[in-house]
Amino acid sequence: MTDTSTTETAEQAERADKPSNRKQPYGQGFLDTISTGWADRPSIAPPAREQAPFAARRRAAVSEAFAGRRIVVPAGSLKQRSNDTDYPFRAHTAFAHLTGWAADSEPDSALVFEPSGDGHDVTLFFRERADRTTSEFYSDATIGEFWIGPRPDRDGVAGDLGVATAPLDEFESRDGDLVVGEDAELDAFVSELRLVKDDYEIAQMQLAVDVTARGFDDIIRELPRAIAHGRGERIIEGVFHQRARSDGNWEGYDTIAAAGPHACYLHWTRNDGPVVPGDLVLIDAGVEVDSLYTADITRTLPVNGTFSPTQRKVYEAVREAADVAFAAARPGVRFREVHDAAMRVIAAKVAEWGLLPVTAEEALEADRGGHHRRYMVHGTSHHLGIDVHDCAAARREMYYDGVLEPGMVFTIEPGLYFQADDVTVPEEYRGIGVRIEDDIRMTADGPVNMSAAIPRTADEVEAWMARLG
């Protein structure tokens, strides 16, 4: 990475709050000439992007719900990673959803709803291009265009997003603002607004799933390299990252590449272990496309291409739980009933294998049961969209206790996890962790598995690995 230390005149250095030995003064020749010799940069107003009319309808819903109230939806700011380096910027979910500004959005922007008559005047405030006669252009390594490249101009953004724009320095913060993340009422509303996806969102999510599928193919092709490396889990993570960055924006969340007993840790993201033939490797990964919509897929693979009898038994039990949950998902069914359906299968299987001190029916009792949850402590489903755990601020009665509707997109992801040191199970089970996760779109006619093209059954997985390995 290029050294991002800024340089400045001696006079500027004296005014700095925190002088640094990394800052160097500019020569007078530089200062005399830096603002000249640049070609004109005409403003080009492109046609509104595909998501602009969808975002406009979302803003209209917010305006109607909060009539007469000033609303401020901030994009958020850069977050420091270390010293003078920042994490990649990703706008706040509500801001991206309501503007349609996604991977190309600008830090510190704000979408403001000013009450006007029966509705609101909506303006997007953001830091526009720096005039090349200003010192910001060359001296600010965080936002200066000489360092980070061109920033968008106001007319271009207005035409692109179909919303009025204004310079960031004209934004006025006032008491009584409703700010996402600090106002529970607004946060819940915009979360619930995302529960049902529109056609644009569904198309973007299918794109994310399709790119993710290619990433899983890449992983299988590169398994020999992962096996040969001492930290083969990192190889898997890196292979998927390459696909995510080449065909999308980023990963939607930290990739889980959990081989052997690591598969029993539900959110294993250290990914620093070996990938050993004879073990399973659980890969939970999703590509986030440029619109910021993400997939969330899990497949569990036998490293050597073939399941052992015990691995196959556990795998197919999880697959059966997923299939039963999928069959239970119908319009009008409560969201939590999908989880209940999967757990009935999980309880029945572990009871059948002699792993419970009670019957499956007793384990499923709401108050006194739960014994089977030792082997699957997580939920079966969550909503999915512009966040991997989308709509998280929605009220319980709209989320877990809400009913499934056409346009909802959610995961189905049961699993079984037998920790390596769990003496409640026979030794042959210990260290086996299996999860199968698919992305489901609800329609008026029932559920559609958006990720069904990625092999799911044990036989399909083995054939998939033989074909690509």
| 312 and 428 housed in the same domain | yes
pLDDT digits 0-9 by tens, 332-370? 999 999 999 999 999 999 999 999 999 999 999 999 999
Q: What is the pLDDT of residue 264?
A: 98
d(CA 236, CA 252): 16
Would you say residue 61 lies in a domain?
Answer: yes
Would you say residue 444 lies in a domain?
Answer: yes
| 380 and 457 housed in the same domain | yes
pLDDT digits 0-9 by tens, 7-44? 444 444 344 334 455 567 889 999 889 989 999 887 77
Write the CATH number for 447.
3.90.230.10
Would you say residue 2 lies in a domain?
Answer: no
Domain containing 400 equals: 198-468
Task: Say if CB 129 and CB 153 are below 8 A apart.
Answer: yes
| 138 and 208 housed in the same domain | no
User: Which of 276, 278, 274 is CA-nearest to residue 306?
Assistant: 278
Q: What is the Cα Rg of the chain in Å?
A: 26
- Tokens 């390299």: give the residue: 225
Would you say residue 10 lies in a domain?
Answer: no
pLDDT digits 0-9 by tens, 218-256? 999 999 999 999 999 999 999 999 999 999 999 999 999
pLDDT digits 0-9 by tens, 72-121? 999 999 999 998 899 999 999 999 999 999 999 999 999 999 999 999 99
| 158 and 257 housed in the same domain | no
Q: Copy the structure tokens of residue 139.
A: 């001296």
Strand partners, 334: 403
Q: Which of 139, 161, 192 is the last residue of a domain?
A: 192
Q: What is the pLDDT averaged over residues 447-454? A: 98
Q: Which of 156, 175, 192 is the last residue of a domain?
A: 192
d(CA 245, CA 147): 22
Would you say residue 237 lies in a domain?
Answer: yes
Average pLDDT, the chain: 92
Sheet containing 256-259: which strands, arranged edge to edge?
256-259, 280-285, 297-302
d(CA 163, CA 110): 12
Residue 210 has pLDDT above 80, yes or no: yes
| 202 and 161 housed in the same domain | no
pLDDT digits 0-9 by tens, 142-200? 888 888 888 888 989 999 999 999 999 899 776 555 566 668 999 999 999 999 999 99
What is the sign, positive or negative, of the torsion defined by CA atoms of 183, 88, 143, 129? negative
Residue 139 has pLDDT above 90, yes or no: no
Residue 296 has pLDDT above 60, yes or no: yes
Q: Which of 157, 192, 227 is the last residue of a domain?
A: 192
Write the CATH number for 164.
3.40.350.10
| 317 and 183 housed in the same domain | no
Would you say residue 124 lies in a domain?
Answer: yes
Burial call 338-373: b when 16+ CB within 10 Å, e when fewer: bbebbbbbbbbbbbeeebbebebebbbeeeebbbbe
| 59 and 175 housed in the same domain | yes
d(CA 105, CA 73): 14
Q: How far is CA 351 from CA 301, 322, 428, in A?
A: 25, 18, 16
Helices (H), ranges, 329-418: 335-352, 360-363
| 178 and 204 housed in the same domain | no
Task: Say if CB 50 and CB 252 are below 8 A apart.
Answer: no
| 188 and 202 housed in the same domain | no
Structural domain count of the chain: 2
| 102 and 147 housed in the same domain | yes
d(CA 437, CA 457): 12
Task: Say if CB 150 and CB 129 are below 8 A apart.
Answer: yes
Would you say residue 9 lies in a domain?
Answer: no
Burial call 388-417: b when 16+ CB within 10 Å, e when fewer: bebbebbeeeebeebebeebbbbbbbbbbb
| 336 and 379 housed in the same domain | yes
Q: How many CA atoms lie within 13 A of 228 on its CB side?
A: 4
Would you say residue 24 lies in a domain?
Answer: no
Q: Copy the structure tokens of residue 3.
A: 């050294």
| 111 and 217 housed in the same domain | no
Q: What is the pLDDT of residue 148?
A: 87
DSSP label at residue 51: T
> For residue 47, what pLDDT band results from cuts at 50, 70 and 90?
confident
Task: Say if CB 410 and CB 440 are below 8 A apart.
Answer: yes
